[in-house]
C-alpha cells in the first residue's frame, strides 16, 4: 500500500509556522509523504526550510484584499493540488482555510482538514468595516465548505459553537483539539526566579492582546514599594489594523512604565525570568500557546474570561481570569499574586500538571493523526 500524501498550508507568519512544525514532523514520522505550502519568501517559508522541510512557495498575502491577487492565490493552490495529488490537505488560519478549501474542491482532493486557530479581530470588532468583513468571511466559509469532505479542528468550544450556530460546520464533521501542544521536554518546570518581581505579557504587539490594560496596571504599580518590572515580550506586527507602533512602545519605555524586550528567540529564558505571566487579550484567540508554555514552566498565569483564553487555565487554581478590558480587575489579580509567593509557586506547580494532563505536544499530534486516519478510512 502506498504511503498517503498530505499537504500543509500555512500563512506567512513565523509564529504560525512554528506551531505547525510538531504536526508536520509527526505526520512524516508516521509514514506520510509531506509537502508544505507557504507564502513566497515569507518568515514562515524561511522558518520551515531551516527545519529541513520542503516548502512550495505561492503568492499568498496575510492581509491583502486585492480581488485579483486573491483569485490568483486560489488558482496557484489549485494548480499545486492537481500537481501533487494529495490524499489530504491540512489548512491553518483564515486565508489558507478558505482559499485552500475552494482549491481542494476544484482539484477534487479526497479529504480536507481545516484548523480554526482562533477567529481573530474580525469576530470581535464592532465598527462598521469589521462587521462588514465578518459577513464577507461568513459567506466565504459557507462557500468554501460546501460539498467538502472535511474535518474542522477547533481549539476551543466557543469557536466551535459559534460556527455551528452560523451553520458553517456541523457537529459530525468537527472536533476539539486544544492548542498545537507544548513540548514538555523543552519547556520544563523551573523554580521561581530570585530577585525583583517581574510581570510579563508575551504576545505580538497589537492592542487586542490587552496591552493598554497591561500598561495601565504598570502605571498603577509604578513607584510603589519594592521594585516591580512590567515587561512586554514580542515583536511588532506591522500591517495589522490594531498594531502598536514602534514609537508608541518606545514612549512607554522612555516614560519608565514598561520594559520592551522585543522578539525573543528562546522563550524559555523569558518565562523563567518572569514571576507572573499575563495575557489580558480580547483578540478572539484559539488557545494562546504562550499561556500554556508559561504554565509548563511553572508560572502562574492571568488572562481574560474570553474565548480561547479561559480554556488555558483553571481559575483560582493555576491562575486567574479577569474581566475583558478591565484594568482594575487586572490590577487586583496581579496584586494578590505579587503579595503571595506561596500562592504563586502553588499555582505554577498546578499549571505544570494541567499542561501535562491536557496540552502535551505528543497528545495533540496523536489526536491530529487520528483525524487523518478517520478521514482516510472513509475514502477506502
Per residue of the chain (380 residues), give pLDDT as tens.
Answer: 578 999 999 988 777 778 889 999 999 999 999 999 999 888 888 888 888 888 999 988 766 667 788 899 999 999 999 999 999 999 998 899 999 999 999 999 999 999 999 898 888 878 888 899 899 999 999 999 988 899 999 999 999 999 999 999 988 899 999 988 999 999 999 999 999 999 999 999 999 999 999 999 999 998 776 689 999 999 998 878 889 999 999 999 999 999 999 999 999 999 999 999 999 999 899 999 999 999 999 999 999 999 999 999 999 999 999 999 999 999 999 999 999 999 999 999 999 999 999 999 999 999 999 999 999 987 65
Q: Is 239 helix (H, G, I), strand (E, B) or coil?
A: coil
Structural domains in the chain, sorted by start: 5-181+360-378 (3.40.50.2000), 197-358 (3.40.50.2000)
**In angstroms, rounded to a whole number, what is the distance separating the alpha carbons of residues 165 and 143?**
16
Are the C-beta atoms of residues 247 and 241 closer than 8 Å to each other?
A: no
Please, what sign has the CA dihedral across residues 235, 355, 7, 109? negative
Contact 125/163 with Cβ under 8 angstroms? no
Please give the pLDDT value at position 121: 80
CB 40 within 8 A of CB 12: no
pLDDT of amino acid 124: 81
How far apart CA 112 and CA 235 sit, in angstroms, is: 33
In this structure, are residues 92 and 9 in contact, taking their beta carbons and an 8 Å threshold?
yes
pLDDT at residue 310, rounded to an integer? 96
DSSP state of 182: B
Which three three-digit cell numbers place residue 222?
Answer: 509604578
- CB proximity list for 312: less than 8 A, separation 6 or greater: 179, 287, 288, 291, 292, 295, 301, 303
Cα dihedral sign for 61, 65, 68, 70?
A: positive
Taking the C-alpha atoms of residue 33 and residue 157, their distance in angstroms, rounded to an integer, is: 31
| Ordered strands of the 5-9 beta sheet | 55-58, 33-39, 5-9, 88-92, 111-116, 150-154, 174-176
For the record, the C-alpha cell of 371 comes out as 483525524
Q: What is the pLDDT of residue 176?
A: 96
The neighbouring-strand residues paired with 334 are none
Give the residue among 230, 370, 194, 249 at the shortest CA–CA distance from 302: 230
| Pair 369, 26: CB distance under 8 Å | yes
Q: Take residue 280 and report the three cell numbers written for it.
A: 489580558
- CA–CA dist 316, 354 (Å, integer): 13
HSE toward the beta carbon, residue 102, CA cutoff 13 A: 19
CA 208 from centroid of its chain's CA atoms? 14
Q: Vertex 129, ends 179 and 116: CA angle to 5°?
A: 15
- pTM of the full predicted structure? 0.92
Beta bridge partners of 205: 236
Amino acid at each position: 500500500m502506498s504511503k498517503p500524501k498530505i499537504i500543509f498550508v500555512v500563512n506567512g507568519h513565523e509564529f504560525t509556522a512554528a506551531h505547525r512544525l510538531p504536526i508536520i514532523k509527526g505526520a512524516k514520522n508516521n509514514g506520510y509523504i509531506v509537502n508544505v505550502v507557504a507564502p513566497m519568501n515569507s518568515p514562515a517559508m524561511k522558518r520551515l526550510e531551516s527545519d529541513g522541510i520542503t516548502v512550495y512557495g505561492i503568492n499568498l498575502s496575510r492581509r491583502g484584499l486585492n480581488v485579483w491577487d486573491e483569485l490568483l492565490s486560489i488558482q496557484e493552490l489549485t494548480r499545486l493540488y492537481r500537481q501533487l495529488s494529495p490524499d489530504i490537505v491540512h489548512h491553518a488560519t483564515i486565508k489558507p482555510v478558505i482559499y485552500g478549501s475552494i482549491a481542494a474542491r476544484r482539484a477534487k482532493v479526497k479529504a480536507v482538514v481545516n484548523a480554526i486557530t482562533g477567529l481573530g479581530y474580525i469576530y470581535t470588532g464592532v465598527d462598521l468595516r469589521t462587521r462588514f468583513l465578518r459577513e464577507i468571511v461568513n459567506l466565504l466559509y459557507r462557500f468554501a465548505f460546501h460539498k467538502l469532505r472535511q474535518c474542522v479542528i477547533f481549539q476551543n468550544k466557543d469557536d466551535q459553537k459559534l460556527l455551528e450556530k452560523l451553520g458553517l460546520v456541523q457537529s459530525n464533521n468537527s472536533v476539539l483539539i486544544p492548542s498545537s501542544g507544548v513540548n514538555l521536554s523543552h519547556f520544563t518546570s523551573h523554580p521561581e526566579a530570585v530577585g525583583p518581581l517581574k510581570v510579563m505579557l508575551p504576545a505580538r504587539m497589537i492592542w487586542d492582546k490587552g496591552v493598554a490594560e497591561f500598561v495601565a496596571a504598570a502605571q498603577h504599580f509604578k513607584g510603589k514599594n519594592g521594585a516591580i518590572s512590567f515587561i512586554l515580550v514580542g515583536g511588532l506586527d506591522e500591517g495589522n489594523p490594531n498594531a502598536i507602533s514602534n514609537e508608541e512602545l518606545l514612549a512607554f519605555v522612555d516614560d519608565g512604565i514598561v520594559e520592551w524586550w522585543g522578539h525573543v528567540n528562546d522563550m524559555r529564558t523569558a518565562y523563567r525570568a518572569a514571576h507572573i505571566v499575563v495575557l489580558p487579550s480580547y483578540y478572539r484567540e484559539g488557545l494562546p500557546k504562550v499561556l500554556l508554555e508559561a504554565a509548563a514552566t511553572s508560572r502562574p498565569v492571568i488572562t481574560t474570561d474570553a474565548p480561547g483564553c479561559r480554556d488555558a487555565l483553571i481559575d483560582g487554581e493555576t491562575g486567574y481570569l479577569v474581566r475583558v478590558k478591565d484594568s482594575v480587575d487586572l490590577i487586583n489579580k496581579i496584586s494578590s499574586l505579587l503579595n503571595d509567593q506561596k500562592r504563586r509557586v502553588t499555582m505554577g506547580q498546578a499549571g505544570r500538571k494541567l499542561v501535562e494532563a491536557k496540552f502535551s505536544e505528543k497528545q495533540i499530534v496523536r489526536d491530529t493523526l487520528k483525524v487523518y486516519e478517520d478521514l482516510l478510512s472513509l475514502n477506502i
